[in-house]
Structure 1
């Protein structure tokens, strides 16, 4: 596989290269080895690089007296996190823009660091007036609007714990998570706009209140501009407040520093494989990891503008806020969808706000590839320095389209893989270094990652389990009230080694690849193959736009491969049956992967089921095809697509439309 280097990026001028020169590291491997060998020295240097200030300095970097599962970071340290994120920048450059917002219908807002500091102070005082205090849980059910960042920061200001929820959840999904964490306050918007249509949220929020006795107050943000009328009959003992008119008994809150290991945030996973997990992150660990990754992997600077196409209920939303503000950058919140009203919308947003760092998913890139008018004009991306990508594995063709066609081979794609429980990334690319399509340059310094065989020995050149040998500051502090599940999820494969659940490989040139979740891996006649291998083979055929591969039971091979594809509107199908096309695709995969790995079926579907943040739900598709339990589908963007997959299964009835979430 060829390597590529973005012509518009100089490795030697990056913050990571300067960090290495400053501290005498000959190369990235030397830095990684030193970080593992001398964590106290390394993390102290990271704190200096990101500019974190302590009210009470910590006396010990890392305490493992409770075991590697439960590390204590920056022991004895106390910090005013909001001052690190907002206050210090507001004092230094009060008029600098902290947040830019663009709504689905083109509405625009800008908020300076000084204005953000004042609004956070107002809302924090309002929360105190409502009786919310240290350790209380505040559930956030908000779209990508500035108030989402303000509420997170206001909760942080008073030591409360915020829990961001996906804005597309229905009442039952929100209630399940509120009940799990016993939140006392729910903050919602009355709605938002998506693809030009109004999406109401307030009715679901009020339905949640009726299911959750712990909720005492509901705070409503008037995103729609339609005003907020109290619900007829009320919501029991829960009192509603208008966000703009929170009661304030004092003009500001007393300055308070909180311990480094105090809980900052709970963020719930989607729950497609069981009860959602409340991942615990701390005041120091999460923002340190987010800011370090943005500095080292993304080369984000104070004069940059960061935008990630995401939702505040997914990790990348809070990650962008706590990492980007720590470094003094400008953030762009985009409420809309990047291909509405046309495929050029994303690039218009980039140009309008001067975006330098754009985060997006491979799924979005595949969608844009298939649309007319999706390539940006040179002037539209004049400010853009790099792309970021996370959430799923790449196929080579979409990667090359983004790098060569959209980015003109000048902008690196910072492939970034980690997870909610990681607090950021395990693996990344680094600006200015050579890349292979879909690969990573390797672990982010400070994350002692490896690829291991079943006995725990390192592997190179072949696929194994992605693992981490040492703790890091952004590591989750367990699951909320479920230590046993946390231990089973990550610490049950090898003693004192984090097993991440991804298949990975390091090639002969030292480039890393992630081949998907290990429980998605398909074992055909004893050979383990990642679904991405089949999917990449299929999308290399001119008929196919998107592809998903799953393994199904097979009496002869153990597992057989069943694939689902979407085809281009212009695909030449008019004179051909799908049976002929399917046979051609099966043979095409066989030529690329070998005849034993030919799929047993290739089904054509109108749409691939995905979550709102662009992830493909292979396990749900497999369950639908086999007619087994589907799990929680509340994060799905297009639940009707699951019904279509179920209808393709052998003798499987199509679920009724009202049996699936909308």
Structure 2
């Protein structure tokens, strides 16, 4: 790719301008003024952001940069749960609702800040009783329920490093993550609810811990009746673990650079990457962006629809909102069950004012029609936000008109698992350009460059890069320093996001999509190699390649090209078997929508599959340079 390969459309830019009161009341104020203040003294900027948190011991230095490794808030001592819970209880929010939760069948739970703190301390004490200590890894594989949040916070309370795994992943994906992290404990539930059906999680865990020698204990939340039997030699009941524990537990004093969590993201080499985030910088980054980007206020009821198994759930369901003392709503409900009006009903019933969701969901609602949101009073909404993949102009328009009533700003956020926090958006109150995420937020130096690292001319495309460290940046890839260094060496001396982007003449950035072998399906990164490995593990398959093809709802769907072993014959039955095999191996989100049986795959002379050729053929595009093709 060169910067001439794509460019901004030639039609005149279209902008939506929020009512001036939004800028006047926003935490950020005028974007240009705030950004220039940051540029004039980045260290002072990040020192001021850190001052919004409580530190057990002050830091000596804001940042130390030894390329490509950064250390933030040196020698500062902190605990993120103290900042999420204790300080709010002490500062007048003890009886403010921290969490509202609603189940699929209408069950409701609410926790005030003081109640949530007590629950977290009880589980933290229970974990300590079974031997969990600072630095131990704990895998959390749970549905979207309050106990999932409690488990995350309880780990952080005692300095254990949590590794949350999305509850939709299958046995192999869970096993990989447990093994790589060396988790001593797995916290799970017997089942999750999905469109009125109970999905059994415990059998998946039981199979996943086979050949995972680090696991000593499985903690099981039993939701179903009759209660599922536990194996006494390894399994303990979640509620019994907490039952007789005290309501207080001193927050572990953590160095700012101590690891807070691991979160695995799909890689291009088969094995998922364990992204490491640190206690201090991550807390500063998520507190800052929740407040200043999403403009969360004291009286807001805030709903981010992400699963805590993904980074958006970590940063903007759990840590960021609680660091700001917000009232957080979350739900196990899917957006189309029991009907396509459920989310709009929840917004009305709970008075949601800040609503943060994914383009995939928006496109699904577009497909079923605006008559569904029209049935409900959505006047409580103040801010709309988007995450997970580029928000295409058509989805922006629909979201703006039919959900926001042409009055709510849309904050289209670009960031990654690796960044930990928002990096590029249109700040509340600024003119919004459909299709363009916006500009770097104060605190971030970003640009669009060519393959040599030179900034592209406005109107042209290139690679999206971050030019300077930021507090919530990944501190490493667990057990894989070489992979971490690649982020900073793919293009010399800058962080390469592996995303393609276009820089407009107005400074706004349009993110096009991934430049590497990842497929974004419904906002989730799926590694091509992970799906291909699952396919090849089937006895009928000799070789496989997968690509993403456009989908009007999910953004992309997965298509697989499969070479069968000698003697095997392609059939509709085999297609079903392969799709089911991927579903059970990796998870439903990775299941191919289409399988095509082929005799050969395009490869380079070194044997690398040229997926771009498959994509170009599938989409009827120019095949481009084929000089490295084997034949």
Q: TM-score scaled by structure 2?
A: 0.81
Q: In structure 2, do the counterparts of structure 1 residues 197 and 13 end up closer, same or farther at CA, with 3 Å as the change threshold?
A: same
Aligned to 1:478: 476
> 2:71 matched to 1:122?
no
1:54-99 Cα offsets, whole Å, 9 max, x none, are 11000100112xx232111000100132121011112322211000
Tell me which residue corresponds to 1:444: 441
* Aligned alpha-carbon RMSD (Å): 2.9
Alignment-derived partner of residue 303 in structure 1: 299
CA contact (8 A) 1:279 1:479 kept: yes
Partner of 2:431: helix, strand, or coil? Answer: coil
Change (3 A) 1:409 1:9: farther
**Residue 498 of structure 1, CA deviation:** 0.7
* Structure 1: distance between partners of 2:550 and 2:555: 15
Aligned positions of 1:82-231 closer than 5 A: 82-91=81-90, 92-231=92-231
Distance in 1 (CA, whole Å) between partners of 2:246 and 2:296 is 37
**1:195-230 Cα distance to aligned partner (Å, 9 max, x none):** 111111011112223331111111111233542422
Equivalent-residue separation in structure 2 for 1:305 and 1:273 (angstroms):
41
2:366 alignment partner, one of 366, 369, 388: 369
Look up the match of 1:4: 16
SS of corresponding position for 2:252: coil
| Equivalent-residue separation in structure 1 for 2:32 and 2:447 (angstroms) | 13
* Deviation readout 1:337-379 (Å, 9 max, x if unpaired): 0111111111011122221111111111111111146542485
For the residue of structure 1 that corresponds to 2:123, the secondary structure is helix
**Residue 483 to residue 520, structure 1, CA distance change in 2 (3 Å):** closer
Determine helix, strand or coil for the equivalent of 1:333: strand
Change beyond 3 A, Cα 1:651–1:348: farther
Q: Deviations over 1:83-129 (max 9, x none)?
A: 21011112322211000111112211111111001111111111111
Give the 3-state SS of the residue equivalent to 2:414 in structure 1: strand
| Cα distance in 2 between the residues matched to 1:504 and 1:182 | 37
- Asked whether the 8 Å contact 2:390–2:437 carries over to 1, the reply is no
> Taking structure 1 as reference, are residues 272 and 104 closer, same or farther at Cα in structure 2, changes over 3 Å only?
farther
Aligned partner of 2:402 in structure 1 is 405
Residue 452 (structure 1) shift: 0.9
Equivalent pair of 2:464/2:496 in contact (CA under 8 Å): yes
| Aligned-residue offset at 1:510 | 2.2
Summarize deviations over 1:459-509 as a string: whole Å, max 9, x none: 222001111111000100010010001112x12223321111111122122
Q: Does 1:494 align with 2:497?
A: no
Cα displacement string for residues 271-302 of structure 1 (whole angstroms, at most 9, x for unaligned residues): 46521000000111222111211112110122
Q: Offset at 1:251? A: 5.8
- Range moving further from structure 2, 30-39 or 169-178: 30-39
Provide closer, same or farther for how the CA distance between residues 392 and 276 of structure 1 changes in structure 2, counting only shifts above 3 A: same
| Matching residue within 335, 340, 345 for 2:342 | 345
Deviation at 1:566, TM superposition (A): 6.5
User: Does structure 1 residue 266 correspond to structure 2 residue 266?
Assistant: no
Deviation at 1:15, TM superposition (A): 0.3
- Using the TM superposition, give the Cα deviation of residue 34 of structure 1 relative to its aligned residue in structure 2, in angstroms: 4.1
Q: How far apart, in 1, do the equivalents of 2:62 and 2:160 lie?
A: 25
CA distance in 2, matches of 1:134, 1:185: 13
Matches within 5 A, 1:620-639: 620-621=558-559, 623-624=560-561, 636-637=587-588
2:221–2:239 Cα contact (<8 Å) kept: yes
Choose from 290, 293, 298 the match for 1:294: 290
Relative to structure 1, the CA distance from residue 515 to residue 277 in structure 2 (aligned partners, 3 Å threshold; closer, same or farther) is same
Looking at structure 2, the residues matched to 241 and 79 of structure 1 have their Cα atoms a distance apart, in angstroms, of 31
Residues 466 and 626 of structure 1, relative CA distance in 2, 3 Å threshold: farther
Q: Deviations over 1:617-636 (max 9, x none)?
A: 5xx53x53899999987565
- SS where residue 435 of structure 2 aligns? coil
- CA-to-aligned-CA distance 1:141-194 (integer Å, 9 cap, x gap): 011111111111111111110010000112221111100011000000111111
Range 246-255 or range 179-188, more displaced = 246-255
Instruction: Report the Cα distance in structure 2 between the residues aligned to 1:626 and 1:616, rounded to whole angstroms.
Output: 23
- Aligned 8 A contact 1:315 1:423 in 2: yes
Is 1:63–2:64 an aligned residue pair? yes
Give 1:260 deviation, angstroms: 0.6
1:520 to 1:132, Cα distance in 2 relative to 1, 3 A: closer
Conserved? CA contact 1:221–1:244, under 8 Å:
no
Q: Which moved more, 1:201-210 or 1:467-476?
A: 201-210
Corresponding residue for residue 47 of structure 2 = 44
Give the superposition deviation at 1:385: 0.9
Using the TM superposition, name which of 468-477 and 301-310 deviates more: 301-310
Q: Summarize the Cα distance change of 1:461–1:214 in structure 2 as closer, same or farther, 3 Å threshold.
A: same
Note if contact 1:271-1:632 (Cα within 8 Å) is conserved in structure 2.
no
SS in 1 for 2:120: helix
Q: TM-score, normalised by structure 1?
A: 0.77
Q: Is the 8 A contact 2:123 2:241 kept in 1?
A: no
| Partner Cα distance (2:362, 2:597) in 1 | 27
Residue 616 of structure 1: SS of its match in structure 2?
strand
Aligned length: 547
Separation in 1, partners of 2:555, 2:260? 26
Q: Does 1:78 align with 2:77?
A: yes
Q: For the residues of structure 2 that align with 1:146 and 1:161, how far apart are their CA atoms?
A: 19
Q: 1:521 and 1:90, CA in 2 relative to 1: closer, same or farther beyond 3 A?
A: closer
Say which SS state the counterpart of residue 168 (structure 2) adopts. Answer: coil
Cα distance between partner residues in 2 of 1:408 and 1:448 = 33
Q: CA deviation at 1:244?
A: 3.9
Q: Is residue 222–residue 237 contact of structure 2 (8 Å, CA) maintained in 1?
A: no
Q: Secondary structure at the match of 2:595?
A: helix
1:227-286 Cα offsets, whole Å, 9 max, x none, are 24224xx6xx53433334447576643443211111000000134652100000011122
Q: In structure 2, do the counterparts of structure 1 residues 639 and 468 end up closer, same or farther at CA, with 3 Å as the change threshold?
A: closer
Mapped contact 1:60–1:73 kept (Cα < 8 A): yes
> CA separation in 2, counterparts of 1:636 and 1:250?
38
Contact 2:563 2:600 in 1 (8 A): no
Which residue of the other structure, out of 448, 466, 469, is the alignment partner of 2:467? Answer: 469
Residue from 401, 415, 435 that aligns with 1:418? 415
The 1-side partners of 2:498 and 2:563 are apart by 23
Gaps of 5+ in 2: 1-12, 522-546, 566-577, 602-631
Task: Describe the SS at the equivalent of 1:419.
Answer: coil
Note the residue ranges of structure 1 that are not aligned, 5 or more in a row: 18-26, 523-529, 532-561, 568-607, 609-613, 653-662
Partner of 2:54: 53
Counterpart position of 2:596: 647
> Which residue pairs with 2:35 in the alignment?
32
